[in-house]
Structure 1
Amino acid sequence: MNELDLFLREHAAVHGASGPGDYHVADWALDGLDDARLRMRPHGLNSIAWLFWHLARVEDSCVATVVFGETQVLRRRR
């Protein structure tokens, strides 16, 4: 297994929904949560929905700028 294979395997495990029977951290963490639970902010802390959004933004920033040397997807003009 090379570096790219390792990255792709770990990336798939985190993001989920790639196939039946696969283990996915996101699927496990969000399973059974309704909209109210996803948006709940216990003690004024960030919600689960916000945390997953933030993870996606950090990944976009790192992959776009560090790996590809491009502008983040969110910042690109449409």
Structure 2
Amino acid sequence: MNGIDVLLEAYSRIPDLVMGAADGLEPGDLEARPNGTGNSIGWLLWHLTRVQDDHIADTAGTEQLWTEEDWVGRFDLPFDPADTGFGHSSGQVDAVNVESADLLVEYYNAVHQRTIKYVQQLTEQDLDKVIDDSWNPPVTLGVRLVSVTQDCVQHAAQAAYVRGLLG
């Protein structure tokens, strides 16, 4: 198994986590926040998808699906279109009111499909390309792609935990 295959395997596991956290939830469930201050399932799934969309588009040199396919309009959130949720305040987390779990899953699935298509066209040599030299050590494409999978799994697991708290 080469590095591309490992990345494809890792990314292929995320959709089940997202769907498992979102399946059958009502908008009120999506907005529930543990202790009134934790991140909601809706925010967590929106954020992980926005980060994946943002980072994959950046590395692929494409426009994010968020704007290209007008997911920004479908979600109608009170944020700048470039917002991914990074550093959101409690009030901003509250502002992520999603009309349905299906909308979150549809957006995630679109981003996932683009991600898989992008990773499939990469070569092993591409993974060693430095894409961000502002870090020490500089970040390669491979490291960035692994980082995105880790972020998605972490937030999907948090969403599953919050779902468990709902009972």
Measured against the shorter chain, the TM-score band is: 0.5 to 0.7
Amino acid at match of 1:38: L
Hey, what does 1:34 align to over in structure 2? 25
Distance 1:74 1:50, change over 3 A: same
**Equivalent residues in 2 for 1:60-71, closer than 5 Å:** 60-66=53-59, 68-71=60-63
Runs ≥4 residues deviating over 4 A: none
In structure 2, runs of 5+ residues without a counterpart are 71-167
Q: Deviations over 1:6-42 (max 9, x none)?
A: 11111111112xxxxxxxx3344x2776323332023
Q: How far off its partner does 1:74 sit?
A: 1.1
Amino acid at match of 2:4: L
**Equivalent residues in 2 for 1:67-78, closer than 5 Å:** 68-76=60-68
Distance 1:73 1:32, change over 3 A: closer
Q: Does structure 1 conserve the Cα–Cα contact (< 8 Å) formed by 2:22 and 2:41?
A: no
Count of matched residue positions in the alignment of Structure 1 and Structure 2: 68
TM-score by length of 1: 0.67
Q: Deviations over 1:34-75 (max 9, x none)?
A: 323332023233211110111001000111111x11121112
In structure 1, runs of 5+ residues without a counterpart are 17-24
Hey, what does 1:4 align to over in structure 2? 4
Q: Does structure 1 conserve the Cα–Cα contact (< 8 Å) formed by 2:30 and 2:40?
A: yes
Amino acid at match of 2:58: T
Distance 1:54 1:31, change over 3 A: closer
Structure 2 CA distance for aligned equivalents of residues 27 and 38 of structure 1:
13
Hey, what does 1:13 align to over in structure 2? 13
The reply to whether residue 47 of structure 1 matches residue 40 of structure 2 is yes
Distance 1:11 1:64, change over 3 A: same
Sequence identity of aligned pairs in percent?
A: 31
